[in-house]
């Protein structure tokens, strides 16, 4: 077991000593280390079993700190940072020469964001270095949205989980890169396409095949439970097809009734997509613990955060 604690100064001491600490953000918990410590960054990759070609996101305390990380900021990047930081938006920009190649997998760009969580903002303010933090889960598995999820995954492999309560957003940040000076969405996430387009106008979404392995969040299978999971628009039909099995259901708004269902979670009875997003990963963690034969997940409406939820469910359900 790692220590689960709210002690920000203890977390700061460990990070300063080049150790890893899992940190809360508004999206998911991150596995954090000093970006300038080769030891800490290597340890992040080893602990997560993450391939070195998969670059990390740098977390900074404020928009002003961006100038220490990047060498060039397009006008639309400034507009997006002003509109959404602190918040669940990551910008991929030209890096400056101080950013180690390990962070960026040798690329000349770096992914950076200001997370919107009071505990982690206080931690970042207290440190004199930024934090690299991928989601605190083994590579490919469901991201953690509580301190307990992180401890369940890593136990004594990390010394401390800084407890900031359950993540309010529950899905990773939206990642935006730039082609020329034009924004392109690399990964759907907790900032909706509609919200982004309201600031900078129409944006392209990169085809996942084209950008892998740049953004392995876009790899086909990712965010996946170990239980076989299928995604459908017609839960009743899927239940009929699998009724000889132990079935778990992940429903969007309405509970389904059928004798074959042994466990069911409804994401938002109020039909609220942000509530559904915030509960999604915890629901998948719970379903995965029930010793089921199959998880049947229901597609959400394909608007706003529904598009991001469906993206994650799609990746949870591609067979390996
Ligand atoms: O919400 C989040 O973004 C969370 C919290 C902890 O901040 N972090 C997160 O990190 O989701 P991670 O490592 O699980 O996903 C980061 C994604 C990866 O898919 C990586 O390939 C992509 O960001 N990425 C990082 N640097 C990049 C770069 N220079 N160009 C393209 N993609 C990049
Ligand atoms: Mg991840």
Q: Which atom of ligand 1 is nearest to the CA of 136?
A: 6
Out of 175, 185, 208, mutate this one to test ligand 1's pocket (max ligand atoms within 8 Å of CB): namely 175
| Cis amide leading into 243 (omega within 30) | no
> What is the whole-number distance in angstroms between the Cα of residue 107 and the centre of ligand 2?
19
Distance of CA 272 to the CA centre of its chain: 20
Out of 96, 135, 312, mutate this one to test ligand 1's pocket (max ligand atoms within 8 Å of CB): namely 135
pLDDT for residue 210: 44
Domains and CATH numbers, the chain: 4-205 (3.90.870.10), 229-319 (3.40.50.11030)
pLDDT for residue 217: 52
pLDDT for residue 222: 77
Ligand nearest to the CA of 44: 1
Q: Which atom of ligand 1 is nearest to the CA of 190?
A: 1
94 touches ligand 1 (CB under 6 Å): no
Q: Which stretches of the chain drop beneath a pLDDT of 70?
A: 1, 207-220, 318-320
116 touches ligand 1 (CB under 6 Å): no
Nearest to 103 by CA among 158, 52, 47, 28: 52
pLDDT for residue 304: 97
CA–CA distance, 165 with 145 (Å, rounded to integer): 8
Out of 50, 52, 57, 211, mutate this one to test ligand 1's pocket (max ligand atoms within 8 Å of CB): namely 57
The position carrying tokens 């919107």 is 116
pLDDT for residue 54: 94
- ∠ CA 80-218-114, rounded to 5°: 30
25 touches ligand 1 (CB under 6 Å): yes
> What is the whole-number distance in angstroms between the Cα of residue 177 and the centre of ligand 1?
11
214 touches ligand 1 (CB under 6 Å): yes
pLDDT for residue 2: 80
Atom 19 (ligand 1) nearest CA: 215
pLDDT for residue 26: 98
Measured in degrees and rounded to the nearest 5, phi and psi for residue 35 equal -65, -25
pLDDT for residue 213: 43
């Amino acid at each position: 077991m790692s220590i689960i604690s709210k002690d920000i100064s203890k977390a700061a001491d460990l990070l300063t000593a080049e150790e890893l600490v899992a940190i809360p953000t508004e999206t998911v918990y991150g596995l954090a280390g000093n970006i300038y410590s080769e030891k800490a960054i290597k340890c992040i990759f080893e602990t997560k079993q993450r391939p070195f070609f998969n670059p990390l996101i740098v977390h900074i305390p404020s928009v002003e700190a961006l100038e220490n990380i990047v060498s060039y900021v397009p006008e639309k990047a400034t507009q997006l940072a002003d509109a959404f930081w602190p918040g669940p938006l990551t910008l991929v920009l030209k890096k400056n020469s101080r950013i180690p190649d390990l962070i960026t997998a040798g690329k000349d760009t770096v992914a950076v964001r200001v997370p919107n969580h009071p505990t982690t903002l206080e931690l970042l303010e207290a440190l004199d270095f930024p934090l690299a933090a991928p989601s605190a889960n083994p590579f490919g598995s469901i991201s953690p949205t509580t301190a307990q999820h992180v401890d369940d995954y890593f136990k004594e492999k990390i010394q401390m989980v800084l407890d900031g309560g359950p993540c309010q957003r529950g899905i990773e940040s939206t990642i935006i890169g730039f082609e020329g000076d034009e924004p392109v969405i690399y990964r759907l996430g907790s900032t909706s396409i509609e919200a982004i387009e309201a600031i900078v106008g129409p944006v392209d979404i990169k085809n996942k095949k084209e950008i892998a392995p740049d953004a392995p969040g876009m790899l086909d299978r990712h965010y996946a439970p170990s239980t076989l999971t299928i995604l459908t628009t017609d839960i009743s039909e899927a239940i009929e097809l699998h009724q000889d099995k132990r079935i778990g259901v992940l429903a969007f708004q309405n509970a389904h009734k059928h004798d074959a269902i042994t466990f069911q979670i409804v994401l938002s009875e109020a039909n609220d997509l942000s509530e559904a997003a915030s509960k999604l990963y915890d629901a998948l963690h719970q379903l995965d613990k029930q010793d089921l034969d199959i998880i049947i997940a229901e597609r959400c409406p394909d608007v706003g955060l529904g598009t991001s939820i469906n993206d994650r469910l799609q990746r949870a359900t591609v067979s390996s």
